[in-house]
Structure 1
Protein backbone atom coordinates (compact mmCIF):
# COMPACT_ATOMS: atom_id res chain seq x y z
CA UNK A 1 0.00 0.00 0.00
CA UNK A 2 2.87 2.33 0.76
CA UNK A 3 4.18 2.01 -2.80
CA UNK A 4 0.87 3.24 -4.34
CA UNK A 5 0.73 6.28 -2.03
CA UNK A 6 4.23 7.26 -3.09
CA UNK A 7 3.21 6.89 -6.74
CA UNK A 8 0.10 9.06 -6.25
CA UNK A 9 2.12 11.71 -4.39
CA UNK A 10 4.75 11.80 -7.13
CA UNK A 11 2.06 12.10 -9.81
CA UNK A 12 0.38 14.97 -7.95
CA UNK A 13 3.70 16.78 -7.51
CA UNK A 14 4.54 16.34 -11.22
CA UNK A 15 1.09 17.64 -12.20
CA UNK A 16 1.46 20.70 -9.97
CA UNK A 17 4.90 21.40 -11.45
CA UNK A 18 3.52 21.12 -15.00
CA UNK A 19 0.68 23.54 -14.23
CA UNK A 20 3.12 26.02 -12.65
CA UNK A 21 5.31 25.76 -15.76
CA UNK A 22 2.33 26.62 -17.96
CA UNK A 23 1.54 29.65 -15.84
CA UNK A 24 5.04 31.04 -16.43
CA UNK A 25 5.38 30.02 -20.08
CA UNK A 26 5.79 32.94 -22.49
CA UNK A 27 2.68 34.00 -24.37
CA UNK A 28 2.46 32.88 -27.98
CA UNK A 29 3.44 35.55 -30.46
CA UNK A 30 1.09 36.30 -33.32
CA UNK A 31 1.20 38.78 -36.15
CA UNK A 32 -1.99 40.88 -36.37
CA UNK A 33 -4.07 40.55 -38.44
CA UNK A 34 -3.25 37.00 -39.46
CA UNK A 35 -5.25 37.39 -42.69
CA UNK A 36 -5.42 40.32 -45.09
CA UNK A 37 -6.32 40.89 -48.71
CA UNK A 38 -5.06 43.24 -51.41
CA UNK A 39 -5.81 43.78 -55.09
CA UNK A 40 -3.12 42.95 -57.65
CA UNK A 41 -3.03 43.66 -61.40
CA UNK A 42 -1.22 40.92 -63.30
CA UNK A 43 -1.56 42.48 -66.76
CA UNK A 44 -2.74 40.10 -69.47
CA UNK A 45 -2.84 37.26 -66.89
CA UNK A 46 -5.67 38.99 -65.04
CA UNK A 47 -5.67 40.05 -61.46
CA UNK A 48 -7.91 40.72 -58.56
CA UNK A 49 -7.97 39.87 -54.92
CA UNK A 50 -5.04 38.10 -53.24
CA UNK A 51 -5.53 36.58 -49.80
CA UNK A 52 -2.44 36.84 -47.60
CA UNK A 53 -2.03 34.68 -44.49
CA UNK A 54 0.86 35.42 -42.08
CA UNK A 55 2.23 33.20 -39.33
CA UNK A 56 4.73 34.44 -36.76
CA UNK A 57 7.29 32.24 -35.02
CA UNK A 58 9.50 34.33 -32.75
CA UNK A 59 11.01 37.10 -34.89
CA UNK A 60 10.30 35.26 -38.17
CA UNK A 61 7.25 35.34 -40.43
CA UNK A 62 5.95 33.11 -43.19
CA UNK A 63 3.27 34.29 -45.59
CA UNK A 64 0.99 32.28 -47.89
CA UNK A 65 -0.60 33.90 -50.94
CA UNK A 66 -3.81 32.65 -52.55
CA UNK A 67 -4.77 34.60 -55.67
CA UNK A 68 -7.74 34.83 -57.94
CA UNK A 69 -5.36 34.21 -60.88
CA UNK A 70 -6.43 30.87 -62.37
CA UNK A 71 -4.03 28.58 -64.19
CA UNK A 72 -5.28 26.74 -67.28
CA UNK A 73 -2.87 23.85 -66.56
CA UNK A 74 -2.38 21.82 -63.42
CA UNK A 75 0.72 22.69 -61.41
CA UNK A 76 2.50 20.00 -59.42
CA UNK A 77 3.64 20.57 -55.86
CA UNK A 78 6.77 22.72 -55.74
CA UNK A 79 6.68 23.57 -59.46
CA UNK A 80 6.00 27.30 -59.07
CA UNK A 81 8.24 29.99 -57.62
CA UNK A 82 6.56 32.89 -55.85
CA UNK A 83 8.03 36.20 -54.62
CA UNK A 84 5.98 38.66 -52.57
CA UNK A 85 7.46 42.09 -51.81
CA UNK A 86 5.93 44.08 -48.96
CA UNK A 87 6.74 47.57 -47.68
CA UNK A 88 8.41 47.55 -44.27
CA UNK A 89 7.18 50.15 -41.78
CA UNK A 90 5.52 52.30 -44.45
CA UNK A 91 8.51 52.24 -46.82
CA UNK A 92 10.70 53.03 -48.58
CA UNK A 93 12.29 49.80 -47.33
CA UNK A 94 10.86 46.49 -48.52
CA UNK A 95 11.03 42.82 -47.56
CA UNK A 96 10.71 39.98 -50.06
CA UNK A 97 9.21 36.61 -49.13
CA UNK A 98 9.80 33.78 -51.58
CA UNK A 99 9.48 30.06 -52.02
CA UNK A 100 8.61 27.09 -54.21
CA UNK A 101 6.39 25.14 -51.83
CA UNK A 102 3.06 25.39 -53.58
CA UNK A 103 0.65 22.47 -53.16
CA UNK A 104 -0.74 20.58 -56.16
CA UNK A 105 -3.00 22.99 -58.04
CA UNK A 106 -5.56 21.45 -60.41
CA UNK A 107 -6.20 23.06 -63.80
CA UNK A 108 -8.55 26.06 -63.70
CA UNK A 109 -8.04 26.51 -59.95
CA UNK A 110 -6.83 29.62 -58.11
CA UNK A 111 -3.10 29.83 -57.43
CA UNK A 112 -1.77 29.07 -53.91
CA UNK A 113 1.89 29.81 -53.13
CA UNK A 114 2.36 27.63 -50.08
CA UNK A 115 4.48 29.17 -47.29
CA UNK A 116 6.88 31.91 -48.37
CA UNK A 117 9.87 32.79 -46.20
CA UNK A 118 12.41 35.58 -45.80
CA UNK A 119 15.81 35.85 -44.13
CA UNK A 120 14.68 39.12 -42.52
CA UNK A 121 14.00 39.06 -38.80
CA UNK A 122 11.36 41.38 -37.39
CA UNK A 123 11.02 43.42 -34.22
CA UNK A 124 7.78 43.94 -32.31
CA UNK A 125 5.79 46.74 -33.96
CA UNK A 126 7.25 46.25 -37.44
CA UNK A 127 4.53 46.54 -40.09
CA UNK A 128 4.25 45.02 -43.56
CA UNK A 129 1.87 46.25 -46.26
CA UNK A 130 1.41 45.77 -50.00
CA UNK A 131 4.27 47.22 -52.07
CA UNK A 132 3.00 49.59 -54.73
CA UNK A 133 6.08 49.20 -56.93
CA UNK A 134 5.98 47.62 -60.37
CA UNK A 135 6.39 44.04 -59.06
CA UNK A 136 4.74 43.38 -55.72
CA UNK A 137 3.97 39.75 -56.53
CA UNK A 138 5.87 37.58 -59.01
CA UNK A 139 4.88 34.06 -60.05
CA UNK A 140 7.12 31.86 -62.21
CA UNK A 141 5.18 28.90 -63.56
CA UNK A 142 6.55 26.56 -66.28
CA UNK A 143 9.18 29.19 -67.11
CA UNK A 144 6.58 31.92 -67.61
CA UNK A 145 6.91 34.96 -65.36
CA UNK A 146 3.76 36.68 -64.17
CA UNK A 147 4.46 40.11 -62.66
CA UNK A 148 1.70 41.63 -60.56
CA UNK A 149 1.45 45.14 -59.18
CA UNK A 150 -0.39 45.89 -55.96
CA UNK A 151 -3.19 48.34 -56.70
CA UNK A 152 -4.42 48.58 -53.11
CA UNK A 153 -3.08 48.46 -49.60
CA UNK A 154 -3.95 45.48 -47.42
CA UNK A 155 -7.35 45.24 -45.83
CA UNK A 156 -8.12 45.29 -42.91
CA UNK A 157 -4.61 46.74 -42.58
CA UNK A 158 -0.91 45.95 -42.62
CA UNK A 159 0.55 42.98 -40.78
CA UNK A 160 2.00 44.12 -37.44
CA UNK A 161 4.58 41.92 -35.73
CA UNK A 162 3.93 41.06 -32.07
Structure 2
Protein backbone atom coordinates (compact mmCIF):
# COMPACT_ATOMS: atom_id res chain seq x y z
CA UNK A 1 0.00 0.00 0.00
CA UNK A 2 2.88 2.34 0.85
CA UNK A 3 4.46 1.79 -2.58
CA UNK A 4 1.19 2.63 -4.28
CA UNK A 5 0.98 6.00 -2.44
CA UNK A 6 4.56 6.86 -3.37
CA UNK A 7 3.92 6.15 -7.07
CA UNK A 8 0.67 8.14 -6.96
CA UNK A 9 2.39 11.05 -5.18
CA UNK A 10 5.22 11.03 -7.74
CA UNK A 11 2.73 11.04 -10.63
CA UNK A 12 0.80 13.95 -9.11
CA UNK A 13 4.02 15.89 -8.54
CA UNK A 14 5.18 15.25 -12.12
CA UNK A 15 1.81 16.37 -13.47
CA UNK A 16 1.90 19.54 -11.37
CA UNK A 17 5.39 20.37 -12.65
CA UNK A 18 4.28 19.84 -16.25
CA UNK A 19 1.27 22.13 -15.80
CA UNK A 20 3.42 24.77 -14.08
CA UNK A 21 5.93 24.57 -16.94
CA UNK A 22 3.19 25.20 -19.49
CA UNK A 23 1.78 28.09 -17.48
CA UNK A 24 5.15 29.86 -17.38
CA UNK A 25 6.31 28.99 -20.91
CA UNK A 26 6.79 32.06 -23.10
CA UNK A 27 4.14 32.57 -25.75
CA UNK A 28 5.31 33.10 -29.30
CA UNK A 29 3.69 35.52 -31.67
CA UNK A 30 1.81 33.21 -34.02
CA UNK A 31 1.90 35.62 -36.95
CA UNK A 32 4.61 38.05 -37.99
CA UNK A 33 4.36 40.91 -38.47
CA UNK A 34 1.26 41.52 -36.38
CA UNK A 35 0.53 44.80 -38.18
CA UNK A 36 1.24 46.02 -41.69
CA UNK A 37 0.49 49.20 -43.60
CA UNK A 38 -0.98 49.38 -47.08
CA UNK A 39 -2.01 52.15 -49.42
CA UNK A 40 -5.46 51.41 -50.77
CA UNK A 41 -7.69 52.81 -53.47
CA UNK A 42 -11.46 52.56 -53.02
CA UNK A 43 -12.46 54.29 -56.25
CA UNK A 44 -14.94 57.12 -55.80
CA UNK A 45 -15.04 56.35 -52.03
CA UNK A 46 -11.46 57.54 -51.51
CA UNK A 47 -8.21 55.94 -50.60
CA UNK A 48 -4.99 56.26 -48.68
CA UNK A 49 -3.05 54.58 -45.91
CA UNK A 50 -4.62 51.74 -43.96
CA UNK A 51 -3.40 49.41 -41.21
CA UNK A 52 -4.02 45.67 -41.20
CA UNK A 53 -3.77 43.86 -37.85
CA UNK A 54 -3.50 40.06 -37.78
CA UNK A 55 -3.98 37.51 -35.00
CA UNK A 56 -3.70 33.74 -35.05
CA UNK A 57 -4.77 30.85 -32.84
CA UNK A 58 -3.92 27.53 -34.49
CA UNK A 59 -5.53 27.47 -37.93
CA UNK A 60 -7.97 30.29 -37.04
CA UNK A 61 -6.89 33.82 -37.83
CA UNK A 62 -8.45 37.27 -37.86
CA UNK A 63 -7.72 40.49 -39.73
CA UNK A 64 -8.80 44.01 -38.83
CA UNK A 65 -8.47 46.99 -41.18
CA UNK A 66 -8.48 50.57 -39.96
CA UNK A 67 -7.91 53.74 -41.95
CA UNK A 68 -8.24 57.42 -41.20
CA UNK A 69 -7.64 58.17 -44.90
CA UNK A 70 -10.66 56.15 -46.09
CA UNK A 71 -13.97 57.45 -44.80
CA UNK A 72 -17.40 55.92 -44.41
CA UNK A 73 -19.57 56.95 -47.37
CA UNK A 74 -22.74 56.91 -45.20
CA UNK A 75 -23.58 56.45 -41.52
CA UNK A 76 -23.59 52.76 -40.58
CA UNK A 77 -24.67 50.87 -37.48
CA UNK A 78 -22.38 48.58 -35.53
CA UNK A 79 -21.85 45.16 -37.15
CA UNK A 80 -23.82 46.09 -40.28
CA UNK A 81 -21.07 45.97 -42.96
CA UNK A 82 -20.54 42.62 -44.65
CA UNK A 83 -16.80 42.53 -45.41
CA UNK A 84 -14.49 40.12 -47.21
CA UNK A 85 -10.74 40.73 -47.21
CA UNK A 86 -8.94 38.58 -49.77
CA UNK A 87 -5.18 38.20 -49.39
CA UNK A 88 -2.81 36.61 -51.92
CA UNK A 89 -0.77 33.53 -50.92
CA UNK A 90 2.93 33.57 -51.78
CA UNK A 91 2.71 30.14 -53.43
CA UNK A 92 -0.44 30.99 -55.42
CA UNK A 93 -4.10 31.22 -54.58
CA UNK A 94 -5.89 33.39 -52.06
CA UNK A 95 -7.21 33.31 -48.51
CA UNK A 96 -10.42 35.12 -47.55
CA UNK A 97 -11.29 36.68 -44.18
CA UNK A 98 -14.93 37.63 -43.77
CA UNK A 99 -17.49 38.79 -41.26
CA UNK A 100 -19.85 41.57 -40.23
CA UNK A 101 -17.82 43.18 -37.44
CA UNK A 102 -17.46 46.97 -37.46
CA UNK A 103 -17.97 49.85 -35.05
CA UNK A 104 -20.82 52.33 -35.62
CA UNK A 105 -19.59 55.05 -38.01
CA UNK A 106 -21.04 58.41 -38.99
CA UNK A 107 -20.71 59.71 -42.56
CA UNK A 108 -17.09 60.70 -43.05
CA UNK A 109 -15.76 58.75 -40.05
CA UNK A 110 -12.57 56.71 -40.51
CA UNK A 111 -13.32 53.19 -41.78
CA UNK A 112 -12.74 50.21 -39.51
CA UNK A 113 -13.82 46.62 -40.21
CA UNK A 114 -13.04 43.47 -38.32
CA UNK A 115 -12.00 41.31 -36.82
CA UNK A 116 -12.73 39.29 -39.95
CA UNK A 117 -12.29 35.52 -39.57
CA UNK A 118 -10.36 33.15 -41.81
CA UNK A 119 -8.44 29.89 -41.86
CA UNK A 120 -4.68 29.66 -42.34
CA UNK A 121 -2.10 26.89 -42.49
CA UNK A 122 1.33 26.84 -40.92
CA UNK A 123 3.76 28.62 -43.22
CA UNK A 124 1.12 30.63 -45.10
CA UNK A 125 2.55 33.93 -46.36
CA UNK A 126 -0.26 36.38 -47.15
CA UNK A 127 -0.06 39.77 -48.87
CA UNK A 128 -2.76 42.43 -49.45
CA UNK A 129 -1.27 43.59 -52.79
CA UNK A 130 -3.18 41.77 -55.51
CA UNK A 131 -6.11 41.08 -53.18
CA UNK A 132 -9.06 43.24 -52.21
CA UNK A 133 -11.42 44.36 -49.48
CA UNK A 134 -15.10 44.23 -50.44
CA UNK A 135 -17.58 45.91 -48.12
CA UNK A 136 -21.32 45.71 -48.71
CA UNK A 137 -23.02 48.70 -47.14
CA UNK A 138 -26.82 48.91 -47.54
CA UNK A 139 -26.56 46.80 -50.70
CA UNK A 140 -23.80 48.93 -52.24
CA UNK A 141 -20.47 47.16 -52.78
CA UNK A 142 -17.32 49.19 -52.09
CA UNK A 143 -14.13 47.53 -53.33
CA UNK A 144 -10.69 48.63 -52.13
CA UNK A 145 -7.40 47.37 -53.55
CA UNK A 146 -3.83 47.85 -52.38
CA UNK A 147 -1.78 49.96 -54.77
CA UNK A 148 1.59 48.55 -53.64
CA UNK A 149 2.97 45.72 -51.47
CA UNK A 150 2.28 45.98 -47.75
CA UNK A 151 4.96 47.17 -45.37
CA UNK A 152 6.96 45.74 -43.64
CA UNK A 153 6.08 42.62 -45.65
CA UNK A 154 3.61 39.75 -45.93
CA UNK A 155 1.97 38.13 -42.91
CA UNK A 156 3.64 34.77 -42.17
CA UNK A 157 1.64 32.35 -40.02
CA UNK A 158 3.10 29.68 -37.71
Fold conserved (TM > 0.5)? yes
Q: Which residue of 1 aligns with 2:153?
A: 157
Q: Which residue of 1 aligns with 2:56?
A: 56
Q: Which residue of 2 aligns with 1:129?
A: 127
Q: Which residue of 2 aligns with 1:70?
A: 71
TM-score, normalised by the number of residues in structure 2: 0.80
**What's the offset of the Cα at 1:34?**
0.6
**What's the offset of the Cα at 1:27?**
5.1
Deviations 1:5-49 (A, max 9, x none): xxxxxxxx99x93x6523235653521111111111111111111
Runs of 4+ in 1 over 3 A off after TM superposition: 24-29
What is the root-mean-square deviation in Å for CA atoms of aligned residues? 2.3
Deviations 1:26-85 (A, max 9, x none): 653521111111111111111111210001111211101113311243211111111111
Closer, same or farther in 2 for the Cα pair 1:86/1:72, shift >3 Å?
A: closer
* Equivalence map 1:9-158=2 (5 Å): 17=16, 20-24=18-22, 28-29=27-28, 30-67=30-67, 68-88=69-89, 90-118=90-118, 120-123=119-122, 125-132=123-130, 136-158=132-154
Deviations 1:95-125 (A, max 9, x none): 111111112123321111121012x3311x2
Closer, same or farther in 2 for the Cα pair 1:148/1:72, shift >3 Å?
A: closer
Q: Which residue of 2 aligns with 1:10?
A: none
State the aligned residue count: 143
TM-score, normalised by the number of residues in structure 1: 0.78
CA distance in 1, matches of 2:61, 2:53: 10
| Larger strand proportion of the pair | 2
SS of residue paired to 2:19: helix
